[in-house]
Chains A and B, each alone.
Chain A
Amino acid sequence: MTNSLNDMRHAKSLIFIGSNAAEAHPISMQHILHAKEVNNAPIIVVDPRFTKLAAKASDFVRIRPGTDAAFMLGLINVIIQNGWQDKEFIETRVAGYEEMAVVAADYTPEAVEEITGIPASETVRIAKILATNRPTSLTWCMGGTQHHIGSSITRTFCILQLVLGNMGKSGGGTNIFRGHDNVQGATDMCVLSHSLPAYYGLSDGSWKHWCRVWDVDYDWMVSRFKEKKWMNAKGFTLSRWYEGVLQEEKIEQYTPLKAVIQWGCGSNSNSQYHRVKRALDMLDLYVIIDPFPTMAAAACESDNVYLLPCSSQYETSGSVTSTSRQIQWRHKIVDPIAGCKDDYEIMAELVKRLGFADKFYKNIKQVPEDITLELGRGSLTIGYNGQTPDRIKKHMANWHTFDIETLQAKGGPCDGEYYGMPWPCWTTEHPGTPILYDISKEVTKGGLPFRNRFGLEKKYDSSGRTENQLAAVGVANPGCEVQGGYPEFKDVVPGTNWKTDLSQKTLKEALRRGMAPFGNARARCVVWTFPDQVPIHREPLHTPRPDLIEKYPTYEDKPNHYRVHTRYKSEQKPDLVKEFPLVLTTGRMVEHMGGGAETRSNKYLSELQPEMYAEVNPMLANNMGIRDGEEIWIESPEGGKIRVKAKLTERVDEKTIFMPYHFGGVLMGRSLAGNYPKGHEPYVIGEAANVCTNYGYDIITQIQATKDGLCKVSKA
Chain B
Amino acid sequence: MARVKFLCDVDRCIDCGGCVVACKEGHHIPVGVNRRRVITINQGKPGEKSMSVSCMHCADAPCIAVCPVDAIYQREDGIVLVSKKTCIGCGYCFMACPFGAPQFPSDKVFGARGAMDKCTFCAGGPADTFSEEEKNLYGQNRIAEGKVPLCAGMCATKALMAGDADQVSKIYSERVFKRGSGSNAWGWDKAYNKK
Contacts and interface: CB of A to CB of B under 8 A. Distances in A.
B43 A590 contact: no
Given A58-B195, A604-B25, A608-B20, A37 B44 contact: no
A40 B182 contact: yes
B111 interface: no
Contacts of A26: 14, 16, 18, 156-157
Given A22-B14, A604-B25, A37 B175 contact: yes
B15 A52 contact: yes
Given A30-B156, A604-B31, A50 B45 contact: yes
A29 interface: yes
B195 A22 contact: no
A446 to B, nearest CB: 28
Nearest to A30: B157
A317 interface: no
Bin the interface of chain A by size. 20 to 34
Nearest to B185: A40
Nearest to B20: A608
B85 interface: no
A558 interface: no
Contacts of A36: 184
Q: Which of B14, B43, B156 has the most CB of A within 10 A?
A: B14
B168 interface: no
Nearest to A25: B156
A55 B31 contact: no
A651 interface: yes
Contact of A590 (B15, B31, B179): B15
Contacts of B12: 29-30, 33
A60 to B, nearest CB: 7
Contacts of B20: 604, 608
A605 B25 CA distance: 10
Contacts of B49: 55
Contacts of A56: 11, 14
Interface string A51-66: 0111110111000000
Given A55-B49, A608-B20, A608-B21, A33 B31 contact: no
Contact of B48 (A23, A40, A55, A607): A55
Contacts of A605: 21
Interface in B13-36: 14-18, 20-21, 24-25, 31-32
A300 B56 CA distance: 50
A123 B179 CA distance: 27
Contact of B43 (A38, A58, A60, A649): A649
A604 B157 CA distance: 21
Contact of B16 (A40, A55, A58, A590): A590
A50 B14 contact: no
Nearest to A28: B156
Interface string A601-629: 00111011000000000000000000000
Interface in B161-179: 175, 178-179
A571 interface: no
A651 B48 CA distance: 11
B46 A40 contact: no
Given A604-B24, A605-B21, A52 B184 contact: no
Contacts of A33: 11-12, 157
Contacts of A591: 17
Nearest to B17: A608
A27 B157 CA distance: 7
Contacts of A59: 195
Nearest to A36: B184
B37 to A, nearest CB: 10
A26 B14 CA distance: 8
Nearest to B14: A22
A37 B15 contact: no
Contact of A42 (B48, B179, B183): B183
Contacts of A27: 156
A650 interface: yes
B175 to A, nearest CB: 7
Nearest to B47: A55
Interface string A73-113: 00000000000000000000000000000000000000000
Interface string B75-102: 0000000000000000000000000000
B180 interface: yes
A603 B31 CA distance: 7
A589 to B, nearest CB: 10
A33 B10 CA distance: 12
B158 interface: yes
Nearest to B32: A607
16 contacts: A26-B14, A29-B12, A29-B156, A33-B12, A40-B183, A40-B184, A50-B44, A50-B46, A54-B48, A55-B49, A58-B195, A60-B46, A590-B17, A603-B31, A604-B25, A649-B44
Given A30-B157, A30-B158, A33-B12, 8 more contacts: A22-B15, A26-B157, A30-B12, A54-B48, A55-B14, A55-B15, A58-B183, A651-B43
Ranked nearest first, the 4 interchain pairs of A and B with the lowest CB-CB distance are: A651-B44, A55-B48, A22-B14, A26-B156
Interface of A: 22-23, 26-27, 29-30, 33, 36-38, 40, 42, 50, 52-56, 58-60, 590-591, 603-605, 607-608, 649-651
